Structure 1
């Protein structure tokens, strides 16, 4: 594995652990981390390791987009918005398509894109204190790219609940929805993740890879078109006045004054 600015990687007995390592920013996603995660996952798929654990350093798993990056988005061009959306789609798709089994060890908050990373993994182990949520609508944004994956996991009605309310849910509810495989005491989380990984290593690698390829084949036929539509919707949302106001309000710690509420007839056009 290469040297990374925003990640730590550790390979031991056939298990690769990728740790998002920006604890001072709650492991928030910036362009460097998005690129490095993509590279690390692609490298892992061609390594001698047979299972992958994804976790976060410090008290959070991943808090979504970094605030500095979020603020910079309000001044970007349509082409830049699309390129940024494509990079996020690429890392999520890469995680989804990794042929080796993936385990998320969710040690704390998994928000927005961070929740996407946590729940796209084949197994999602969570500490009881972890919180999950797609909070994008609260800042005038849309959780477009993750929506396609989420629909397949929990269905239409539950997806609408999470995405339209933007509410945070506890690990217990995430488990009830099927987004979390097991809830494990925080002090035991990494030990249990490694134990699961070692259990998987006893299986036939080719049989597991073939199983994942088959499962992904069922989804990929639809995912291609859906993610392309999501990238376009994501880029469009970043250019709206509601998004600009939502980011300003979030950074200023105040309630947003949504421009689209003042002109409801134009909403959604």
Structure 2
């Protein structure tokens, strides 16, 4: 198998974006963010309507490979990391995360950035930056977009582990399955959804993320399709909850 940090594997109507450092539990390297951007772009250009985001070797992502970031992340990493999350937010394809074993810190941001998360019963997600004196901007962005403040605070301020059952109970995980079935369940979902109408999936996703103008009509806003006065979002915005 390739030693590239990220693999983009195309299939008919869908594709896999694979974190490919299993020997380091898929910890992110300095070139991983740029590789994620390139891989996602490649899959979309190939017509993927669904993207399965997973880790190679039965683990999703253990965060940053701190040994490789000792000299600092650098401007290129910061730009590509933020850029990938913007790409993910604007992505017209449905992104399904296969959360096997754990998603820690930067890995949690990837899991939270997916549209649908399939979590193993013993999987954990940790937004632990507060405990080590670090900011967590991408985790905070996704939590503000997807979770009430009480849930976001439990993860970001509590900096503890949240198990698969709690992720499912709180609505952050779409499906909770036995640990050995995560990959197969997520893959089957990707294959099934890839057979659905591409324009419908993209339109529904865009409508879900389209801001409602202040004083505007939610029923009118969600009816516009991309290209009809309702283009898909291109950047992570501020909290949209009432």
- Fold in common (TM above 0.5): yes
* Alignment correspondent of 2:47: 48
* Alignment correspondent of 2:229: none
1:13 to 2:12 alignment: yes
**Structure (1/2) with the larger helix percentage:** 1
Contact 1:4–1:36 (CA under 8 A) maintained in structure 2: no
* Alignment correspondent of 1:167: 160
Aligned length: 218
3-state secondary structure, aligned to 2:180: helix
Instruction: Report the CA distance between 1:221 and its aligned residue.
Output: 8.5
1:118-157 alignment to 2 at 5 Å?
118-157=111-150
Paired residue for 2:86, among 64, 70, 93? 93
Instruction: Report the CA distance between 1:197 and its aligned residue.
Output: 1.5
Structure 1, unaligned stretches of length 5 or more? 227-269
3-state secondary structure, aligned to 2:122: coil
How many Å separate the matches in 1 of 2:235 and 2:4?
34
How many Å separate the matches in 2 of 1:4 and 1:213?
35
* Alignment correspondent of 1:223: 236
Q: Deviations over 1:190-240 (max 9, x none)?
A: 2221221122123211111122222233295983468xxxxxxxxxxxxxx
Compared CA separation, residues 186 and 105, structure 1 to 2 (3 A):
same
Instruction: Report the CA distance between 1:8 and its aligned residue.
Output: 2.9
Please tell me the root mean square deviation across aligned C-alpha atoms, in Å.
2.2
**Runs of 4+ residues deviating >3 angstroms:** 219-222
* Alignment correspondent of 2:194: 201
How many Å separate the matches in 1 of 2:119 and 2:161?
15
* Alignment correspondent of 1:256: none
1:99-118 alignment to 2 at 5 Å?
99-118=92-111
Instruction: Report the CA distance between 1:83 and its aligned residue.
Output: 4.5
How many Å separate the matches in 1 of 2:181 and 2:115?
19
* Alignment correspondent of 1:158: 151
212-221 vs 20-29, greater mean Cα deviation? 212-221
> Normalized against structure 2, the TM-score is what?
0.82
How many Å separate the matches in 1 of 2:187 and 2:96?
9
3-state secondary structure, aligned to 1:165: coil
Structure number with bigger Rg = 1
How many Å separate the matches in 2 of 1:51 and 1:31?
26
Structure 2, unaligned stretches of length 5 or more? 213-232
